[in-house]
Amino acid sequence: MLQLTILIVDDTCEHRDILRRLLQSEGYRVVEAQPGLDALQKSRSMRPDLILASLSLPGHPAWDTIQQLRAQPTLSQTPILGTTVYETLLSRARIRSVGCVDCVEKPFDFDYLLSSIDHLLLTSSSLPPVA
């Protein structure tokens, strides 16, 4: 069976560690990155199947990182799922405008998070390749 790869982009080591352990226990290959150059370099070399990216409030480097990831031609069809503690302050339209297909709230409901990831991976696998 093909092992799908998820890139976790978060500036908090503890959040990355929790997500890594959860996702690895579900059989995913996980790579961790800090927002910024680290995430961009790792995404170019590994071409993840899904990116799980932390969103702070607008203006934070995480927003720029997500926009830069989305701008890469090889990642244009890769789903980016945002994670945030600010979900009540961020509209769905604003979250999508930065390049995320959806967002889940921290602290995580792990069943909901895994369900969202599974749904996005299933949906994205049926998308046509980018020309």
What are the tens digits of pLDDT across the range 26-58?
999 999 999 889 999 999 999 999 999 988 755
Cα dihedral across residues 130, 46, 31, 1: positive or negative: positive
CA geometry: angle 5, 52, 116, nearest 5 deg: 90
Amino acid at 12: T
Which structural domain, as residue segments, surrounds residue 10? 5-124
- 16: in domain: yes
Distance, CA of 103 to CA of 54 (rounded, Å): 9
Question: By the 8 A CB rule, do 26 and 115 touch?
Answer: no
Domain of 112, CATH number, reads: 3.40.50.2300
Residue with tokens 């990116």: 51
Structural domain contains residue 131: no
Band of pLDDT at residue 125, cut at 50, 70 and 90: low
- Tally the domains of the chain: 1
Judge whether 129 lies within some domain.
no
**Contact call for residues 10 and 54 (beta carbons, < 8 A):** yes
Dist CA 16 CA 59 (whole Å): 21
pLDDT tens digits, 68-99: 998 999 998 899 999 888 666 667 777 888 88
Question: Can you give the pLDDT at residue 1?
Answer: 52
Is pLDDT of 60 > 70? no
User: Does residue 130 form part of some domain?
Assistant: no
